[in-house]
Amino acid sequence: MKPFSGDLPQLWFELEHYSTLKLDAHHFHEWYTNRNTLLYLAEGEGTLQDVLGEHKLNAGDFFFYPKEERIKLTSSRAGCLIIRKIEFDCVRINRREGAWKMHFYKLPFWGRLHSSSPTITQHLMEKLCLKLEYRNFPMESTRDRALFYQMWEYMEKSTKKQRANEDMPLYHIAEMLREHVKEKFIMEELANKAGLNISEFFKRFKHEYGTSPGQYHTEQRLRKSLEMLTGSSLKISEIAHNVGYEDEYYFSRVFKKKLGVSPAEFIKKARKKVLVVTPKLKDIVQCIGIKPLLLNCEGASPYSAPISQEIEDKNLDYILIPPEYAAHRQELSRIAPVYILSNTSMAGGVQQLLPILKLEVLEYEWLLSYHVNEKNENRQVSF
């Protein structure tokens, strides 16, 4: 994954609103964020409560939350709490298919932020806030917006490093659930391993992985069963046992509820030999549980010798090619049915692939959401 610092030059921050929140001693303020929100504690002490619990606030602290997060700020008994709040949108600008396009960008942060140079970051924030007090919105000053870019640059690396350390126990728990699909886990024991009480463990796990630990384990079992159903000759009862289900019929019910088709029906249609010619197409096919053969042409025609002989020896059921290989479609069709996947994005590619393999009944949304979650897990250790 490209780090945030690499994306930063392509991002456009639209500062939409600025305000200062003052809370007298032992008062609170609660709200839902309307858009990306950066909070800076200018003075005082208190607490901030979000979905993960309560956090102590001290002067100089930074917090970031995306849209639709519930936040509660409470000042201490000692005195007034002053919070600077900047609300903004963030879009990414890049060139696709011959045209410049903009789309909303999800910042890779949540909660408390850390800075590699706290004093400099606080100075930049105070300087920016001073300017924003006398500006109309949306922001039009390039210099003022540049201060915002500088702040994020200082906070990005330290925040990710700190977050990686904080989330490492949860990462190890998720890794354990992924690798040991056959085992049964007691949630209280997992919480103890993470050093959290059961309630906090469930909240933090669901926030990081989008689902409960138990449901996450079930999804890992189903993903493993997909691989076995398409990549082995094992019976359904054997596969059920290998992914932790003693009852084959219960396994079939869980499988059909999630994927919209029974294991037996899935085997009939998915135990096929599929060949692809690019890594992108390989990822798309793997998303539905099929392990395709990847032919590395290295710039050569996929029908040139000895490549053509290698293909013919595979006894293929399908050949998938991108549009740039369309000129070879007729030649390749002598070996196996050839289909062009014109959309090589994950979402578009899967949607186009399911009818080709006659697997339209599969739950497209579950397959795609699982793939996204799996990618996000891999990113967590790529700081």
Looking up tokens 């990618």, which residue turns up? 375
Judged by DSSP in three states, 49 sits in: strand
Q: Look at residue 168 and tell me if it is in a domain.
A: no
For residue 173, is it within any domain?
no
Rounded-to-integer distance, Cα 186 and Cα 193, Å: 11
- Answer with the one of 107, 122, 156 that is the final residue of a domain: 156
| Domain-located, residue 202 | yes
Q: Kindly state whether residues 280 and 266 are assigned to the same domain.
A: no
Say how far apart CA 359 and CA 98 lie, in whole Å.
33
Task: List the CATH number of the domain containing 206.
Answer: 1.10.10.60
Per the domain annotation, does 346 fall within a domain?
yes
pLDDT at 380: 41
3-state DSSP assignment of residue 119: helix
Residues 266, 143 share a domain: no
Q: Identity (one letter) of the amino acid at 274?
A: V
Q: Is residue 166 part of a domain?
A: no
Give the bridge partners for 88, in sequence order. 15, 36
Report how far residue 61's alpha carbon sits from residue 114's, in angstroms, rounded to the nearest whole number: 8
Which pLDDT score is estimated for 121?
85
Same domain, 217 and 95: no
Angle ∠(205,208,209) on CA atoms, nearest 5: 80
Q: What pLDDT, on the 0 to 100 scale, is given for residue 375?
A: 47
Q: Are residues 266 and 283 in the same domain?
A: no
Which residues, in sequence order, are CB contacts of 215 under 8 Å at separation 6+?
none
**Whether residue 376 sits in one domain with residue 248:** yes
Indicate if 259 and 313 belong to the same structural domain: no
* Rounded Cα gap, residues 58 and 42, in angstroms: 9
Domain span at 203: 180-270+364-383
Same domain? For 277 and 266 the reply is: no
Cβ-based neighbours of 5, under 8 Å, separated by 6 or more:
153, 156, 157
CATH code of residue 73? 2.60.120.280
Q: For residue 31, count other CB atoms closer than 10 A to its CB.
A: 13
Q: Is residue 169 part of a domain?
A: no
Residue 18: inside a domain = yes
Domain count, the chain: 3
Joined tokens for residue 281:
């197409």
Does a structural domain hold residue 204? yes
pLDDT at 139: 54
pLDDT score recorded for residue 137:
53
- Strand partners for 276: 294, 320
- Mean pLDDT in order along the chain per 10 residues (383 residues): 67 87 91 93 91 86 91 89 92 74 82 82 86 65 75 74 63 88 91 85 81 90 87 89 94 90 85 86 85 69 54 81 87 88 82 85 66 47 31
Whether residues 112 and 28 share a domain: the answer is yes
CA 90 to chain centre: 17
3-state secondary structure of 33: coil
CATH number of the structural domain spanning residue 286: 3.40.50.1980
Same domain, yes or no: 147 and 39 = yes
Tokens 């994954």 label which residue? 1
- Both 29 and 60 in a single domain? yes
Pair (63, 115) in one structural domain: yes
What's the token pair of residue 217? Answer: 């384990």
48 with 114, same domain: the answer is yes
Helix locations, 21-141, DSSP H: 118-132
Q: Is the dihedral of CA 362, 364, 368, 369 positive or negative?
A: negative
Pair 340, 326: CB distance under 8 Å:
yes
What length is written for the chain?
A: 383
